[in-house]
Amino acid sequence: MNTIEVYESGPLKGEVFVQGSKNAALPVMTAAILIPGVTVLHNIPLITDILYMITILRSVGCVVERNGDSLYIDACHVNTSQIPQNAAGKMRSSIIFLGAMLARMHRAGIPYPGGCVIGKRPFDFHVDAMERMGAVVAAKEKMLTANVRNLHGADITLRFPSVGATESIILAAVLADGRTRVFNAAREPEIQELCGFLNAAGAKISGAGGSELLIDGVSSLKPVEYRIRPDRIVAGTYAIAVAATRGNAHILNTPKEEMGALTDVLCKMGCEIKEEGRGIFVDGRNASAPCGYVRTGVYPEFPTDLQSPLLTMLCVQEGNSIIEETVFEGRFRTAFELEKLGADICVKDRRAYITGRCRLHGADVCAPELRGGAALVIAGLLASGKTIVHDAWFIDRGYADICGDLERLGAKMTRNRGQWEEDLSLAIRN
Ligand code: UD1
C-alpha cells in the first residue's frame, strides 16, 4: 500500500519552499567519484532517487555521510567499477556512471538503467560517445561493460541534445587526455550545474548553457563545497497546482530565470506572476483564458517533465487545447488516468487533444511515473470528492514532501504508506 488520498481543496494559498534540484544533484553526486577527497554538497533533496544514488556511491567504496540537507562524499577509496543492480535498476541516472567510472577506474560495469517508463529511453548516445573516446563497450545480459587504457578527447556530435549523454561525456572528458568538443550538447540548467561544480573542482569546461561544449582534460580534480540549485520542476509543479486551483501563493526559493517557458504559458492563461526576492508570487485568480497549443522541447522550451501537470490543468481550463510531446514518445500515460476522473483527452501519436472546462470527479488512479503521479495529485485537488492516487512511491522519487508542501497551501490530503515504505522514508530522513 502506498497511496495519497486527495480531496477537492479549493484555491491554494500561502507560501511554500522549493527543495534542491534532483536532476542537478544526481550528476554532481556522480561527479564526486572523480575527486579523491571529501566533496561537500548542500541543498540535497531528501528523495528516494538520492537514497539510491547514496547506495551506489557506498557500494563502490565511497564513504557518504548526511547531515540535514548536506552530504559529505569521501571518494578517496573507490574500489570497484561495478554498479550494483539493485540500486541502478531503480533509476535512469545510473547510466552516467559509464563516463564517470571509465574516467576514475578505466573500466565500468553498469546494469541497464531503470527509472520512469516514459518511452524507449535508450543509451546508444552514451555508448557511441565512450567508444569515440577510446573505450571498448559491450552489452550482454542487461549489463554494459566497458574498459579503456586512457580516455582521449574527441569531437562528438549528438543526434539529439540528450541531457544524460551530455553528462556522461562531460564526466568522461574532464580527466581525459586532450580536448573534447560536444556539438548539439544539452543546454539544460542541470548541465550548467554539473559544469559549474566541476570547474570549481579544477576542470576546464567552457560553453555550458550553449550547444557547443569545450572540455580540456586536466590531470586531477580537488575537493570542493558546493550548493545545489533549487528544483525548477518542483517549483513548476507547485506553480501549476496554484494556478489550476485559481489560488495565489508565494513559491519561495524558485529558480525563476529557468522557468520562462512555463511562466509564459501560465501568463497566457491569465495568471499574474511576480518576481519576489528569491521566489515568485503566482496569482491564478483570473486564469480564465484558453491555452491553445503547447509543445514540449529541450531547454529553454517547455519542459517535458511539466507536461503532465499542465495536462491536468488544461482539463479544467477554458477552451480546448493541444499538447505536443517531442522529447519522450511514451509520456501521455497520465491522460488515461485523468480520463478515470472524467477528463476528456484524445491522444494521437505525440499529441494530446484536450477538451477544457471538464468537471473532474474523484476516483482511484495509478501514478504511471514520477511527474505523472504529481499531476494526478493536482487533479485530485480539482476533482469533487476523494481521489486515491496509488503507487505514490513514484512521487517520492522526486518530491521530498509533496503532501506537506501542498497542505501548507491549504490542500486536503492524507498519505498512506506500507511498512517497508515507512522504513524507506525513515531511512531517507536519518
Ligand atoms: C533527463 C532528466 C529527465 C528529463 C529529460 C529531458 C535526469 C535524471 N532526468 O533524462 O527528468 O525528462 O532529461 O529533459 O536528469 N536518447 C536516445 N539515446 C540516448 C539517450 C537519449 O535516443 O542514448 C533520447 C531519449 O529516448 C529521449 C531524448 O533522447 O527521447 C531525451 O533523453 P535525455 O535528454 O537523455 O533524458 P534523460 O537524461 O534520460
Looking at per-residue pLDDT, the higher value among 89 and 109 belongs to 109
Give distance in angstroms: CA of 124 to centre of ligand 1. 11
Predicted confidence (pLDDT) per residue in 353-370, tens digit: 999 999 999 999 999 999
Which pLDDT score is estimated for 430? 57
User: pLDDT tens across 298-324, in order?
Assistant: 999 999 999 999 999 999 999 999 999
User: Of the residues 116, 271, 291, 403, which is catalytic?
Assistant: 116
For β-strands 179-183 and 155-157, DSSP reports them as parallel
Active site (annotated) includes residue 116: yes
pLDDT for res 89: 77
Q: Which sequence spans correspond to the domains of the chain?
A: 2-19+230-429, 22-227
Instruction: State which of 22, 94, 121 you would mutate to test the pocket of ligand 1, scoring each by most atoms of that ligand within 8 A of its C-beta.
Output: 121
Average pLDDT over residues 206-210: 97
Task: Quote the cell numbers at residue 184.
Answer: 548539439
Q: Dump strand ranges (E) for 20-152.
A: 38-42, 63-67, 70-74, 107-111, 136-140, 143-147
- DSSP string over 172-220: HHTTSBSEEEEES----HHHHHHHHHHHHTT-EEE-BTBSEEEEE--S-
Helices (H), 275-360: 307-316, 333-340
Q: Residue 274, class by beta-carbon neighbours within 10 Å (0-12 exposed, 13-18 middle, 19+ buried)?
A: exposed
Query: How confident is the model at residue 90, as a pLDDT?
Result: 77
Spatial separation of the C-alpha atoms in residues 319 and 388, rounded to whole Å: 27
Q: Is 55 helix (H, G, I), strand (E, B) or coil?
A: helix
pLDDT tens for 398-423 read 999 999 999 999 999 999 987 666 66
The answer as to CATH 3.50.50.60 being correct for domain 2-19+230-429 is no
- Spacing, Cα 305 to ligand 1 middle (Å): 11
Q: Rounded to whole angstroms, how far apart are CA atoms 170 and 182?
A: 9
Q: Whose CA is nearest to atom 25 of ligand 1?
A: 121
**Angle between helices 189-200 and 163-173 in degrees, nearest 10:** 10
What does the block give as the cell for 124?
Answer: 546508444
pLDDT at 202: 98
Q: Report pLDDT for 122.
A: 84
CA separation for the pair 77, 109 (Å, rounded): 18
For the CA of 303, the closest atom of ligand 1 is 14
The owner of cell 554498479 is 83
For residue 182, name the pLDDT band (cuts at 50, 70, 90): very high
Q: Which amino acid is at 21?
A: S
Q: Which atom of ligand 1 lies at the shortest distance from residue 160's CA?
A: 29
Give the mean pLDDT of 107-136. 84
Which of the following CATH numbers is that of domain 22-227: 2.60.40.290, 3.20.20.150, 3.40.50.300, 3.65.10.10? 3.65.10.10
Could you tell me the CA-to-CA distances from 170 to 24, 165, 193, 316 in Å, in that order? 14, 9, 12, 42
**Strand 386-390 vs strand 364-366: parallel, antiparallel, or unpaired?**
parallel
The CA distance from 251 to 9, in Å, is 18
Q: Reduced to 3 states, what is the DSSP secondary structure of residue 240?
A: helix
At residue 417, the pLDDT reads: 82
DSSP annotation of 121:
-
> With pLDDT > 70 as the criterion, what percentage of the chain qualifies?
95
Pairing of strands 212-216, 248-252: unpaired
Residue nearest to atom 29 of ligand 1 (CA): 162
Distances (CA, A) of 8 to 206, 212, 388, 410: 49, 47, 12, 11
> Residue 114 above 70 pLDDT?
no
For every residue of 80-95, DSSP letters joined together read --BPPHHHHTT-GGGG
* Residue (of 244, 233, 271) closest to 379 by Cα position: 244
> What is the Å distance from ligand 1's center to 163 Cα?
6
Do 2-19+230-429 and 22-227 come out as alike in CATH topology?
yes
Atom of ligand 1 nearest to the CA of 120: 26
Give the separation between CA 351 and CA 354, rounded to whole angstroms.
10
Determine the longest span between alpha carbons in the chain, in angstroms: 62
Could you tell me the CA-to-CA distances from 130 to 148, 162, 195, 205, 236 in Å, in that order?
Answer: 9, 15, 19, 18, 34
Please state, in angstroms and rounded to a whole number, the distance separating the CA atoms of residues 95 and 89. 10
